[in-house]
Amino acid sequence: MIRGSRRAPTLAGLGIRIGFVAVAALIAANAVLAWVALGAVETRLEPVIKDKANVLARSIANDLYKAVSLDIPVGDLRGVDTYLEDLLTDHPEVAYLAVTDPERNVLFLAESEDSQDDEFQPLAANASEAQAGAFISFDTDYNVTHPMVHDGKQVGYAMIGIDRRFVRNTMGGIFTDIGISLCVAVLIVLELTLLVLSLTVARSIGLMRRLMHAVSEGDFSASIATRGRDDLGRVIDAMNGINAEINRRFRALASGGSAALETLREGRVFAEHGSYRSVQVLRAGDVQYPLFFFIFGVELSRPFFPLFVRDLYDPSIGIDASIAIAMPMSVWVVAMLFTTPFAPGLIRRFGTRNTLLFGMAPTSVGLIATAFAGGFIELILLRCLTAAGFGLVTAAILVRLAMTAPERRRALNIGVFVTATGGGSICATAIGGILAERLGYENTFLVGAALVFVAMSIAFGFLSPDEGVGASAGTSASRRRRLGIYGSPKFMTFMALSALPSRIVLTGFLFFLVPLYLDSLGFGGAAIGRTMMVYFLVLLVMNQAAAVIADRFQNHGILILVGGVSAGVGCMLFVATADSLLLACGVALIGLGQSFVMTPQVAVLPTYFRVETEAHGTGTVTAAFRVVERAGSIAGPLLAGAIVAFAGLAHAGTLVGYGILATTALMAVLLAVGVFSRRR
């Protein structure tokens, strides 16, 4: 007798189990690879440092020998300190450079800032142990001495110390890059695992459920289009066959003029002419996978793009460098602004899949062409092409999510968009900086184009061609009525106090000021990417939490206010420090603020603006939100560039932070007096 049975795992649980196994195998393989690679690098790094130190010491001795050969005592030479300081600047891995007399007394010394806090006694105390050209290891430094001899007489030594911290930092950078690459690989594996599971299992089961529901309601006119020949495909074929047999028998009765025909038709729908409607499953997660890889490809250039523009900048165009660097980013948003309003109409006419393909194709072409851009003006034109497709894709996905969202799950539905963009941006900012350092800017753009092609393939194979065709975006309205949404003072006030500031923080501060500020502090491309990655990591983690809180407690307004304060404080903290940890904390606060703002902003539109939604439709209001929001994306880099040209990088970040806090305070006042209310 069976006392109980174990509950069958759900699809979500199955996906988690498969993903866990795949991720565990990936981590184990990468751990072994990292251990082998780091061991090989460490083994080869010391001989390279030894050789470089000996060559540098020999070079110093030879340069000083030219003066000593004129019978000038070493201690009487002039300009040696400056000479050593210049060498130290050119070789940042060197802890100190010294010239001594034959008794090893230090005559000239240049120390790096990191080593100035250390006593120089180890050199003097152990100098007697240093043989000419020997590689001697002290507590903190590699030390090399090279003798200076004139007429067979020892006249002094050139001595070099290379900080062990250089080795540790080099190894730490490699280890960090491996760790980041592993995190990106884990995200990609999870996305691919869920994609394959959805394609092979979840989508088929969802279609079967929809077909069975239709049949239970008396609708026999539906059919499922199948491509696979797996077990689920055969089950679907059998279900289609049963439905087809029912319709065949109904048509046979209809052709025979049966008296029971009208009774049979009552409350039932048949495919009387042999044409079946396709069963569709419109789920929010369907667009997550192509969007993830699309954002991944486009955002690969994010950590280095201002630096890429700076290299192409031509002073002869007569524009200040700060403004010129911001121009491609603002032009990018202008191009998106033109394509965004077309998204609802294209979805209704051509379907979601075709609309996405219409946008992804020019984006991939633009990325490839950008890799071969030869000048600043050419770059501007190519960014317009890339951005036109990008704007269409992101607007189409957001409109589709808004159109299919149940009211009580609207924030979670919109959260799919933020999660996919956040995950893709994490991978892009982390890997983009590493690829730029290893492959160069141009090849990184080509890698991005390849990822966009992957997104196109997923969209083509995953979405139905007619999905969204003929879907209603709200009440039918003429173009003039749809444009009337921009004349609503209430709507535009909300945009000015919430949507525009959040985009200025994103494009003006994070995408423009952060790379330039970190570059001014001496951060490399990979380090810039790692710092910016913190924003997207926080956004990815906190976005779903913000969506759940917003849907459960319906406190969208409070979340928007908390997010604005967090972003403003993060901006001011970031430009107030040069410490790596505090810089990351500033970026994390910005990410936390944006996660509290981005999803609730879109989710609350139909409730804060019920009249406008009823008049113009959900799709139109959402598209208008994106249009106005992107105006902030245009203003962000230009505003930041103008402030940088006027007041400098640090002051520009502080002013942006104060501006965000001011608009948040005004938003709080309007919420308190009930201008924006769920009851209106």
The answer to whether residues 404 and 606 touch, using CB atoms and an 8 Å cutoff, is no
Residues 312, 346, single domain; the answer is yes
Domain of 110, CATH number, reads 3.30.450.20
Residues 301, 264, single domain; the answer is no
Q: What's the mean pLDDT when you consider all of the chain?
A: 77
Q: Which residue has the tokens 């007399």?
A: 101
Q: What is the rounded CA–CA span in Å between residue 610 and residue 604? A: 10
More confident residue, 485 or 140: 485
pLDDT at 452: 94
Residues 262, 305, single domain; the answer is no
Q: What is the rounded CA–CA span in Å between residue 141 and residue 112? A: 12
CA distances from 237 to 139, 217, 226, 357 (A): 75, 20, 8, 29
Last residue of a domain, one of 169, 187, 206: 169
Residues 229, 289, single domain; the answer is no
255 lies in which domain range? Answer: 217-278
Residues 516, 450, single domain; the answer is yes
- For residues 232-248, give the mean pLDDT: 84
Q: Write out pLDDT tens, residues 335-358.
A: 887 887 788 788 878 888 888 899
pLDDT at 202: 72
The proportion of the chain whose per-residue pLDDT surpasses 70, expressed as a percent, equals: 80
Which of these, 88, 90, 91, lies nearest to 111 by C-alpha position?
A: 88
Let me know the angle formed at the C-alpha of 450 by 347 and 529, rounded to the nearest 5 degrees: 100
pLDDT band, very low/low/confident/very high, at 294 (cuts 50, 70, 90):
very high
Q: Which two tokens stand for residue 185?
A: 């690989």
Q: Which two tokens stand for residue 250?
A: 């109904």
Q: Write out pLDDT tens, residues 81-130.
A: 888 888 877 776 777 888 887 777 788 888 776 554 444 444 443 444 44
**b/e per residue, 568-606, with b = 16+ CB within 10 A?**
bbbbbbbbeeeeeeebbbbbbbbbbbbbbbbbbbbbbbb
Task: Look at residue 57 and tell me whether its pLDDT is greater than 90.
Answer: no
Last residue of a domain, one of 238, 257, 278: 278
Task: Look at residue 73 and tell me whether its pLDDT is greater than 60.
Answer: yes
Residues 377, 425, single domain; the answer is yes
The answer to whether residues 517 and 580 touch, using CB atoms and an 8 Å cutoff, is no
- For residues 126-135, give the mean pLDDT: 40
Q: What is the rounded CA–CA span in Å between residue 18 and residue 21? A: 5
Residues 269, 289, single domain; the answer is no
Residue 612 CA, distance from chain mean position: 33
- The answer as to whether 613 is a domain residue is yes
Q: What is the rounded CA–CA span in Å between residue 645 and residue 665? A: 28
The answer to whether residues 279 and 467 touch, using CB atoms and an 8 Å cutoff, is no
**How many domains are contained in the chain?**
3
- The answer as to whether 124 is a domain residue is yes
Q: Tell me which long-range contacts 479-486 makes (C-beta under 8 A, separation of at least 24).
A: 481/615, 481/616, 482/616, 482/617, 482/620, 484/615, 484/616, 485/612, 485/615, 485/616, 485/620, 485/621, 485/624, 486/624, 486/628
Task: Look at residue 450 and tell me whether its pLDDT is greater than 90.
Answer: yes
CA distances from 652 to 533, 562, 575, 590 (A): 22, 23, 9, 16
Q: Which two tokens stand for residue 526?
A: 């990979």
Backbone angles phi, psi at 186, to 5 degrees: -65, -45
Last residue of a domain, one of 251, 278, 305: 278
Q: What is the rounded CA–CA span in Å between residue 259 and residue 257? A: 6
Q: What residues contact residue 75 under an 8 Å CB cut-off, 6+ apart? A: 101, 107
More confident residue, 22 or 497: 497
- The answer as to whether 508 is a domain residue is yes
The proportion of the chain whose per-residue pLDDT surpasses 90, expressed as a percent, equals: 10
- The answer as to whether 362 is a domain residue is yes
- The answer as to whether 189 is a domain residue is no
- The answer as to whether 81 is a domain residue is yes
Residue type, 301: S
Q: What is the rounded CA–CA span in Å between residue 200 and residue 190? A: 15
Backbone angles phi, psi at 155, to 5 degrees: -115, -10
Provide the CB-side half-sphere exposure for 313 (13 A, CA). Answer: 19
Q: Which two tokens stand for residue 100?
A: 């001594």
Residues 291, 272, single domain; the answer is no
Task: Look at residue 133 and tell me whether its pLDDT is greater than 70.
Answer: no
Residues 468, 506, single domain; the answer is yes
What is the enclosing helix (H) or strand (E) of 146? strand 141-150
The answer to whether residues 421 and 595 touch, using CB atoms and an 8 Å cutoff, is no
In this structure, of 52-66, 164-178, 306-320, 556-570, the range with the lowest mean pLDDT score is 164-178
pLDDT at 562: 92
Which of these, 306, 323, 355, 529, lies nearest to 434 by C-alpha position?
A: 529
pLDDT at 367: 93
Domain of 324, CATH number, reads 1.20.1250.20
pLDDT at 252: 80
pLDDT at 139: 39
Q: What is the rounded CA–CA span in Å between residue 439 and residue 310? A: 18
- For residues 526-536, give the mean pLDDT: 80
Residues 335, 469, single domain; the answer is yes
Taken as a whole, the chain contains a residue count of 680
- The answer as to whether 205 is a domain residue is no
Q: Kindly tell me the burial class for residue 531, based on how many C-beta atoms sit within 10 Å of its own C-beta (0-12, 13-18, 19 or more).
A: buried
pLDDT at 13: 61
Task: Look at residue 261 and tell me whether its pLDDT is greater than 80.
Answer: no
More confident residue, 146 or 293: 293
CA distances from 388 to 22, 362, 367, 598 (A): 37, 8, 12, 22
In this structure, of 16-20, 109-113, 138-142, 220-224, the range with the lowest mean pLDDT score is 138-142
Let me know the angle formed at the C-alpha of 317 by 316 and 322, rounded to the nearest 5 degrees: 100
Could you report how far apart the first and last alpha carbons of the chain are, in Å? 60
The answer to whether residues 388 and 339 touch, using CB atoms and an 8 Å cutoff, is yes
Residue 333 CA, distance from chain mean position: 17
- The answer as to whether 193 is a domain residue is no
CA distances from 51 to 47, 143, 157, 181, 381 (A): 6, 12, 18, 31, 48
Q: Which of 64-73, 395-404, 458-467, 532-541 has the highest mean pLDDT?
A: 532-541
Q: What is the rounded CA–CA span in Å between residue 532 and residue 539? A: 11
Residues 321, 235, single domain; the answer is no
Residues 347, 254, single domain; the answer is no
Q: What is the rounded CA–CA span in Å between residue 130 and residue 125? A: 10
The answer to whether residues 533 and 556 touch, using CB atoms and an 8 Å cutoff, is no
Q: Which of 238-242, 534-538, 567-571, 607-611 has the highest mean pLDDT?
A: 567-571
Q: Which two tokens stand for residue 421?
A: 């963009």
